[in-house]
Structure 1
Amino acid sequence: MNPVVEAFAFLLGFLGWLMVGVTLPNRYWRVSSVDGNVITTSTIYENLWMSCATDSTGVHNCRDFPSLLALSGYIQASRALMIASIVFGSFGLVATLVGIQCSKIGGENYLLKGRIAAIGGVFFLLQGLCTMIAVSWYAANITQEFFDQYYPGTKYEIGEGLYIGWSSAILAMCGGSCLMCSCSFKEPGEKKHYPYQPSSRGRVVSTSSRSVNTNYGRNAYV
């Protein structure tokens, strides 16, 4: 395992996890479109938790979604996926911090530490997948409503929160892939040598006793 690759992968995973924490409370997941509107008096922007509006004077007004069951299915699923992403990222940070070589946590058993680091890479991959699915699903519904000519409601465009989510997913998946690839290869000095264990009878036959000179004549056995 290369310590530089491990440290770089840990940095990518940490940045991805940090950006997920920025994406989740970001209010600009979708922003109302001005396409086709001659006069725009207010701008509406939403995320997974609330809907906000701002008028031409700059006054903001936000309200939480009143009911969880009244929300669309993709919003509920995106909430669950984003929360799962943060949980997976937390587990990945802890496992990677224990498993990398430059950390003294967990002793000096580098074989075990490498396996723990690989588990951290799996958690980072799960984090990136959950974030990518949630953000892409949300964006797909925005574009579907935007290009639907018969949609009666307010049409929205993709906000900055989704771009941050996509970036965090890519960073997390790159960090997890680097960890798993670096832990799958072993250098010659990292191989673990096992000592010779005697047989179950508790007796070891020495190889030197087999090299005794056996060129004796027949008279030697009389």
Structure 2
Amino acid sequence: MGSMATEIVAFLLTISGWILVSSTLPTDYWKVSSVDGTVITTATFWSNLWKTCVTDSTGVSNCKDFPSMLALDAYIQVCRGLMISAVCLGFFGASLALVGMKCTRIGGSETTKARITCLCGLHFILSGICSITACSLYAHRITSEFFDPLFVKQKFELGAALFIGWAGSVLSILGGLIFCFSMTEGFSIREYSYNGATSVISTRTKITKTNKSTKSQKDPSDQMFSGRRFGRNAYV
């Protein structure tokens, strides 16, 4: 029962992390920069993995998609690949979790379900690692440009999508580790119960053999003694 509750907690953590990681892909604000005018007019510049936009004080946004994938900076291409990999790994991990968890009736024997659960945990751990690497790489590029005195272009700050991605990555890794630990606990419990059953059977077998050998040794004397008593009674 405790292992089943642990798996349910791990499933909730990993699914929450996967949803957060998936939501970072369409999120607009990966990096943000605002420019205050001399009067009231304010323009907000923001970018994500797919486009760069500017929003004025009236709320009107003008966006420009990145023209070519081959013309992009290398770090954006790497972040795209890592985030897409994180989403795919999380999807396969969620599918395996539905098969390998003890509260479901599919997946085969307990040993098979334990192995599937371990594989599910590894998928979520890899998903969290990919996501946290992408967000950290993107944040490193922003901070390095912000604190570089020789960088003359517009400087940006960390957007909300990066913090959401970090939170989802931590949840995915934590849930994946719990899945792996629950699988190890399940294997140890099964091994202990199996050895115990074997020892009980072997002990009963030994006792049965001992009783049989004892009876076989006592049978001749018992027969002679019973025969003597029968003979005496017959003569009387």
**Do these two structures clear the TM 0.5 threshold for a shared fold by scoring above it?**
yes
CA distance in 1 between counterparts of 2:62 and 2:156 reads 18
TM-score, normalised on structure 2?
A: 0.78
Match of 2:98 in 1: 97
Unaligned runs of 5+ in 2: 199-207, 221-236
Unaligned runs of 5+ in 1: 197-206, 217-222
Match of 1:199 in 2: none
Aligned-partner residue type, residue 7 of structure 1? I
Aligned-partner residue type, residue 178 of structure 1? I
Q: Which has a greater percent of helix?
A: 2
TM-score, normalised on structure 1?
A: 0.83
Match of 1:88 in 2: 89
Match of 1:48 in 2: 49
How large is the RMSD of aligned CA atoms in angstroms? 2.5
Contact 2:83 2:130 in 1 (8 A): yes
State the Cα distance separating 1:41 from its structure 2 match.
Answer: 3.9
State the Cα distance separating 1:186 from its structure 2 match.
Answer: 3.2
Residues 1:89 and 1:213: Cα distance change in structure 2 (over 3 Å): same
CA distance in 2 between counterparts of 1:3 and 1:73 reads 44
State the Cα distance separating 1:143 from its structure 2 match.
Answer: 0.3
Aligned-partner residue type, residue 32 of structure 1? S
Match of 2:113 in 1: 113
CA distance in 2 between counterparts of 1:187 and 1:114 reads 8
Residues 1:127 and 1:143: Cα distance change in structure 2 (over 3 Å): same
State the Cα distance separating 1:30 from its structure 2 match.
Answer: 0.2
SS in 1 for 2:63: strand
Q: In the TM superposition, what whole-angstrom CA distance separates every residue of 1:3-45 from its partner, at most 9, and x where no partner exists?
A: 00000001111111111111111010000155xx664642110
CA distance in 1 between counterparts of 2:136 and 2:91 reads 22
State the Cα distance separating 1:133 from its structure 2 match.
Answer: 0.2
CA distance in 1 between counterparts of 2:107 and 2:173 reads 25
Match of 1:220 in 2: none
State the Cα distance separating 1:140 from its structure 2 match.
Answer: 0.4
The alignment status of 1:20 with 2:21, answered yes or no, reads yes
CA distance in 1 between counterparts of 2:124 and 2:188 reads 28
Larger radius of gyration: 2
Aligned-partner residue type, residue 95 of structure 2? V
Match of 1:154 in 2: 154
Aligned-partner residue type, residue 125 of structure 1? I
CA distance in 1 between counterparts of 2:190 and 2:11 reads 21
Contact 1:33 1:157 in 2 (8 A): no
CA distance in 2 between counterparts of 1:58 and 1:119 reads 47
Return the structure number with greater relative CO, CA threshold 8 A, min gap 6. Answer: 1
Residues 1:110 and 1:149: Cα distance change in structure 2 (over 3 Å): same
